[in-house]
C-alpha cells in the first residue's frame, strides 16, 4: 500500500542522541520536519528525505546570544552564514553593532539576506560600532534614546533589546550618561538592557544596582578588575549574588580577551554558572581565541559544566532571554525547524582562553549537521 506524499514528513533526521534539556529529553531518536517546522520528535516514521545522524548528538539549533555581524560597516563585523550557520548556529544575536541611524542598513543588507536567523540588540549610540578610533559614547551626544526607541518599535520583530558598552575605552568619563540613556530606552520599550562590563572604571555593583529582571551582564567571566564578578580574594561580590536573585542574567561572551578559565572556575566552584553561553565572535577573534560558538561551548564543558547544562545555555536559556522561546530553543513540535548535530570528539584538544592560557580539553564539540527551517546541511 503506497503512502501519500502529503502524509509524509518533508525530512527526518534519524539515528542520533536527542538532547533537549528544555523538555528533559536525553534519548536515542530522531526529528521530523514539515513545512519548515518541527513535526515530531523521538519515533518519527517515514519522510520524503531521511538523513542518518548516527553518532551525533541532536540538539535544538544553537543560539549565539552575542555576535558581531555588520560586515563591511562595523570594524567588528563578520559574515553570519560563514561563521554562524556553517558552524552549527542557526540563530545569532548581534550585540549592538548597529544603532538607530545604521540599523536600516544592517536589516537590509545583513538580516534579510542571511540564511542564519538574526536578531539584534540595538546600540543606544546611534552610529553603532563603526570604528575603534574613538569610543562610541565618549561624547554622550551620540546617544539618542528617542531615536533608539522609535527604530526599535518599527523593527520589533528583529530588535530584542538595547545594548550599551560601559568600558572606559567606549565611554571615557561618560559612564553615567551612557547607562542612563540605555536604561531610559530599555525601560520605555520594556526590553532587556544588555551591558558590556569589560574595562569599567566603576565596580560591578554600580551597574548591578541599575539592572533588573531580564537584563543581561555581558562578558561575565572576563579577567579584569573593572566590572569583574570577583573580589580580591576570588569570591563573588555580594551584589552579583543579589542581582541573580533579582533575575539579572549573566552571559559569557568569550570575545578576544573576555573569558578566563580561572574566573569561570572560581564562579562555578561557588555555584554560579553562566545563564547563557555566547562567543562574542568578531573580525578580531574568529581566527582565535574565540573561533566560534561550539569552541566556546567546549571550553565551558572543559571547566566542569555538564553537556546538558552547556546545551541549555545555548538553546532554551538564550531563547528565553530574547523572549523567543515559543519560536526557537527547543525541539518541541511546532517550533522552527532548527536542529544542530554535534559530534563529541574525544581526545586532547588545546583550547586557549582570552588571557592566553592554553589547556587541554578532553572533548571538542564539532558541528556535523545543521537544519535551518527544515532544510538540512551537512557540515
> Domains of the chain, with CATH numbers?
60-321 (3.20.20.140)
- Picking from 219, 152, 208, 229, the residue whose alpha carbon sits closest to that of residue 353 is 219
Peptide bond into 289 cis (omega under 30): yes
Question: For residue 300, what are the CA distances in angstroms to 89, 228, 278?
Answer: 17, 18, 11
Positive or negative CA dihedral for 295, 297, 299, 302?
Answer: negative
What DSSP designation does 199 have?
T
Query: Nearest 10 degrees: CA dihedral of 210, 211, 212, 216?
Result: 170
CB 222 within 8 A of CB 198: yes
Quote the pLDDT of residue 6: 63
The 8 Å CB, 24+ separation contacts for 76-83 are 76/129, 76/282, 76/283, 76/284, 77/282, 77/283, 78/281, 78/282, 78/283, 78/286, 80/110, 80/114, 80/116, 80/118, 81/114, 81/115, 81/116, 83/281, 83/286, 83/292
C-alpha cell at position 130: 563603526
Rounded distance between C-alpha atoms, residue 51 and residue 35, angstroms: 17
Quote the pLDDT of residue 1: 38
In a structure prediction context, what are the per-residue pLDDT tens digits for the chain, which is 379 residues long? Answer: 345 556 799 999 999 999 999 999 999 999 999 999 999 999 898 999 999 999 999 999 999 999 999 999 999 999 999 999 999 999 999 999 999 999 999 999 999 999 999 999 999 999 999 999 999 999 999 999 999 999 999 999 999 999 999 999 999 999 999 999 999 999 999 999 999 999 999 999 999 999 999 999 999 999 987 889 999 999 999 999 999 999 999 999 999 999 999 999 999 999 999 999 999 999 999 999 999 999 999 999 999 999 999 999 999 999 999 999 999 999 999 999 999 999 999 999 999 999 999 999 999 999 999 999 999 999 9
Name the pairing type of β-strands 216-218 and 193-196: parallel
Rounded distance between C-alpha atoms, residue 14 and residue 28, angstroms: 9
CB 343 within 8 A of CB 368: yes
- Picking from 3, 54, 7, 22, the residue whose alpha carbon sits closest to that of residue 333 is 22
Alpha-helical runs (H) found in the chain: 80-83, 103-106, 145-154, 168-171, 175-189, 204-208, 238-245, 261-269, 293-302, 307-312, 316-321
CB 363 within 8 A of CB 63: no
CB 160 within 8 A of CB 120: yes
Amino acid at each position: 500500500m503506497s503512502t501519500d506524499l502529503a502524509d509524509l514528513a518533508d525530512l527526518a533526521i534519524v539515528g542520533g542522541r536527542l538532547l533537549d534539556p528544555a523538555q528533559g529529553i536525553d534519548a536515542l531518536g530522531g526529528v521530523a520536519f514539515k513545512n519548515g517546522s518541527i513535526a515530531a520528535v523521538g519515533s518519527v516514521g517515514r519522510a520524503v528525505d531521511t538523513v542518518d545522524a548516527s553518532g551525533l548528538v541532536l540538539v535544538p539549533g544553537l543560539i549565539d546570544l552575542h555576535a558581531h555581524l555588520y560586515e563591511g560597516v562595523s570594524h567588528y563585523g563578520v559574515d553570519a552564514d560563514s561563521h554562524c550557520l556553517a558552524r552549527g548556529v542557526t540563530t545569532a544575536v548581534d550585540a549592538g553593532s548597529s544603532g538607530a541611524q545604521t540599523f536600516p542598513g544592517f536589516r537590509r543588507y545583513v538580516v534579510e539576506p542571511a540564511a542564519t536567523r538574526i536578531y539584534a540588540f540595538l546600540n543606544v549610540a546611534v552610529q553603532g560600532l563603526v570604528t575603534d578610533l574613538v569610543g562610541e559614547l565618549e561624547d554622550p551626544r551620540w546617544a539618542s534614546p528617542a531615536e533608539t526607541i522609535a527604530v526599535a518599535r518599527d523593527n520589533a520583530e528583529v530588535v530584542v533589546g538595547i545594548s550599551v558598552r560601559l568600558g572606559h575605552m567606549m565611554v571615557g568619563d561618560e559612564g553615567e550618561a551612557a547607562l542612563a540613556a540605555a536604561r531610559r530606552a530599555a525601560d520605555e520599550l520594556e526590553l532587556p538592557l544588555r551591558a558590556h562590563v569589560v574595562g569599567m572604571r566603576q565596580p560591578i555593583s554600580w551597574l548591578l544596582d541599575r539592572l533588573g529582571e531580564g537584563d543581561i551582564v555581558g562578558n561575565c567571566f572576563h579577567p579584569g578588575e573593572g566590572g569583574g564578578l570577583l573580589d580580591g580574594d576570588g569570591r563573588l561580590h555580594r551584589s552579583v549574588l543579589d542581582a541573580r536573585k533579582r533575575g539579572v542574567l549573566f552571559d559569557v561572551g568569550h570575545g578576544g580577551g573576555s573569558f578566563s578559565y580561572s574566573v569561570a572556575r572560581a564562579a562555578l566552584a561557588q555555584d554560579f554558572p553562566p545563564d547563557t553561553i555566547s562567543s562574542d565572535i568578531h573580525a578580531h577573534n574568529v581566527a582565535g581565541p574565540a573561533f566560534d560558538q561550539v569552541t566556546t561551548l567546549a571550553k565551558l564543558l572543559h571547566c566542569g559544566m555538564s553537556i546538558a547544562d552547556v546545551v541549555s545555555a545555548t538553546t532554551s536559556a538564550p531563547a528565553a532571554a530574547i523572549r523567543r522561546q515559543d519560536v526557537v530553543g527547543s525541539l518541541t513540535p511546532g517550533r522552527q525547524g532548527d536542529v544542530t548535530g554535534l559530534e563529541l570528539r574525544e581526545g586532547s584538544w588545546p583550547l586557549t582562553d582570552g588571557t592566553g592560557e592554553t589547556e587541554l580539553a578532553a572533548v571538542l564539540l564539532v558541528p556535523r549537521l545543521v537544519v535551518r527551517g527544515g532544510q538540512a546541511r551537512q557540515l
